[in-house]
Amino acid sequence: MIELDSVAMSYGDRTLFHDVSLSLPNGSFHFLTGPSGAGKTTLLKLCSLELTASEGRVRLLSEDVTGLDRDGIAGFRRKIGIVHQDSRFVDHLTVAENVLLPMSVTGKKSDATQDLSELLGWVGLAHVAERRPPELSGGERQRVALARAIILSPDIILADEPTGNVDWDMSLKLLDLLVELNKLGKTVLCATHDLNLIRHAKPKTTTRVLRIREGKVVQAAAGL
Amino acid sequence: MSRLRTLLVGDPTAARIVPPSGFTAVLTIASAAAMAFLAVFAIALQLATGELAARWEAELKGTATVRIPAAEDSEGRADAVLAALKQTPGIVAARRMSDEEQAVLLAPWFGEGIPLDKLRLPTLIEVTETAEGPDLTGLSERLSAEAPGTIYDNHSRWRVPLSDAASRLRQLGGIALFLIGGVTAVTIALAASSALAANGQVIDVLRIVGAKDGWIAAAFTRRFTLRGFFGALAGTFLAMIAVSMIPSGVEAGVLSGLGFDGAEWLLPLLVPFFAAALAFGATWVVAARRLRQDG
């Protein structure tokens, strides 16, 4: 469950959005769309605790995460899988080591080998496990990022323009992976400006579309 | 304790989070090696000055020389002084130096074969004191009464400045060690700070996947502690070889004692551990502060 209650976000004098309230139930799949600069990334960063709201409260998994301290935020990030448009990695580590990073930081490495090979197989990257991230294509990097995001089996997946830097075929593959995760019960919130991608998702799972417009988040029309 | 265990054992991925090479790695290892090299010499200097001071003390303490000016009745005056000395508490023995012994003492200035019988030389008496020694004021007055102009010289005129000099050298050695430690800590702190700044992306990634600041700081601290340790180990090893090659057997001077004997060779082996402790502390403080600022 992701809940925003009267959330506002300002940068200096500029108010990006205000009085945003929304509630995304467990297991739902939401797209977040809107024009460039509308605040899609900011809204996702509020949910991933990379930013703190200027006003209002944020609740994740039924817990109020407003005002969490640094360790609290780090602890909560382990329950959230995050995929950015320009996913970053520790470039001198292998793909396998990068995917295992969340387990390393939580000290859960011992039984990870099986999970890792299954996970890399699931995203279709078992063959690149020993390569370094700079050697990968954009699509491969995004799939590695997705694998890293879900290795701790988080309940929430936040994806910020995950298909922004990949071709259409790879976009559909990534969409399929997100849909599959949603069918496993994960709550997915995916920011995108690609309406075609949203249309392709519709037949595959029950999705809702949120649009940021003029500082407000509104439910998009069914026809989109 | 768990942090120490994590630091020493860690998991292989955590150990490799900080890039294994680069400018900061070279800087840390080289500076730790150089400082350890200097530290070993400072320790050797400390030990040498300590031994020198002890040797000077041992050679001069507990002995005195009585000098009786030449006079008509030198024999009688010397006998009277000897008798007075033997009755004085704090004196173990008193012995008149022979002409041959006096000739040996004068040889450096007048050469061999001095005609002592033609020179008006003072009579010298060698005295051995107890640990407490005699009452110098009372003894000097009594000796002057027996033979006017007699001087009781317990060598303090030489011993005290030498002892002071040795003490100062030891203090300087201590200051040098302190400065070496300080420079090591500052250098490693700067290298760690530079590494943290250069690895902003790594830190961002770690935060995204839920790493706490303590875990990130530990990863950097572990890397820099090990670099400090192995750099210092190399420097210590080289310094020990260098110290062992200093020629020994020189009769005079500080250099005659610059080195390690027996168990003293274990002392320099502590240097890498101190360097590692300094690296640990410096990196932890820098990393914790930097991560807090980055917030």
- Between CA B189 and CA B191 the distance in angstroms is 5
- Locate A197 and state its tokens: 């991608």
A86 CB near a chain B CB, below 8 Å?
no
- Chain A interface mutation, best of B18, B208, B212, B223, highest count of A Cβ atoms under 10 Å: B208
CB A213 within 8 A of CB A17: no
Host domain of residue A67: 2-219
| Phi, psi angles (nearest 5°) of residue A47 | -75, -30
**Partner-chain contact B210 A71, CB within 8 Å:** no
B13 CB near a chain A CB, below 8 Å?
yes
The mean pLDDT value of chain B amounts to 85
ipTM score assigned to the predicted complex: 0.87
Provide the pLDDT for residue B72.
Answer: 77
- Between CA A52 and CA B229 the distance in angstroms is 41
**Partner-chain contact B208 A82, CB within 8 Å:** yes
B184-192 average pLDDT score: 90
Cα-based distances in Å from A79 to A48, A151, A187, B194: 10, 10, 11, 32
CB B114 within 8 A of CB B106: yes
**Partner-chain contact A88 B20, CB within 8 Å:** no
Q: Give B292→chain A minimum CA distance, Å.
A: 9
Domain ranges of chain B: 2-57+160-294, 62-154
Q: Is the pLDDT of residue B251 over 60?
A: no
| Residue A141 burial (C-beta neighbours within 10 Å; 0-12, 13-18, 19+) | buried
A82 CB near a chain B CB, below 8 Å?
yes
- Chain B residues whose beta carbon lies within 8 Å of the beta carbon of residue A88: 201, 204-205, 208
Find the closest chain B residue to A74 by CA distance: B210
Q: Is the pLDDT of residue A224 over 70?
A: no
The alpha carbon of residue B255 and the mean position of all alpha carbons in its chain are separated, in whole angstroms, by: 12
Counted domains in chain A: 1
- Chain B interface mutation, best of A105, A108, A153, A160, highest count of B Cβ atoms under 10 Å: A105
A216 CB near a chain B CB, below 8 Å?
no
- Locate B116 and state its tokens: 């002592």
- Chain A residues whose beta carbon lies within 8 Å of the beta carbon of residue B13: 93, 97, 100-101, 104, 109
Local confidence band at B295 (pLDDT 50, 70, 90 cut-offs): low
More confident residue, B229 or B252: B229
- Locate A116 and state its tokens: 């890792």
| pLDDT tens-digit series, residues A110-163 | 556 667 888 898 888 889 999 999 999 888 999 999 999 988 889 999 999 888
B227-236 average pLDDT score: 95
Local confidence band at B11 (pLDDT 50, 70, 90 cut-offs): low
A104-115 average pLDDT score: 72
- Between CA A192 and CA A180 the distance in angstroms is 18
Angle A163-A165-A167 (CA atoms, 0-180°, nearest 5)?
A: 75
Q: Which of A15-19, A42-46, A88-92, B83-87 has the lowest mean pLDDT?
A: A15-19
Cα-based distances in Å from A223 to A36, A206, B148, B225: 22, 14, 129, 61
Helix, strand, or coil (residue B103): helix
Find the closest chain B residue to A106 by CA distance: B211
**CATH number of the domain encompassing residue A81:** 3.40.50.300
Q: Which CATH class is domain B62-154?
A: alpha beta
Whole-number percent of chain B with pLDDT over 90: 30
- Chain B interface mutation, best of A51, A70, A88, A90, highest count of B Cβ atoms under 10 Å: A90
Q: Give the alpha-carbon dihedral of A126, A131, A134, A139, to 10 degrees.
A: -10
Asked whether residue A105 is assigned to any structural domain, the reply reads yes
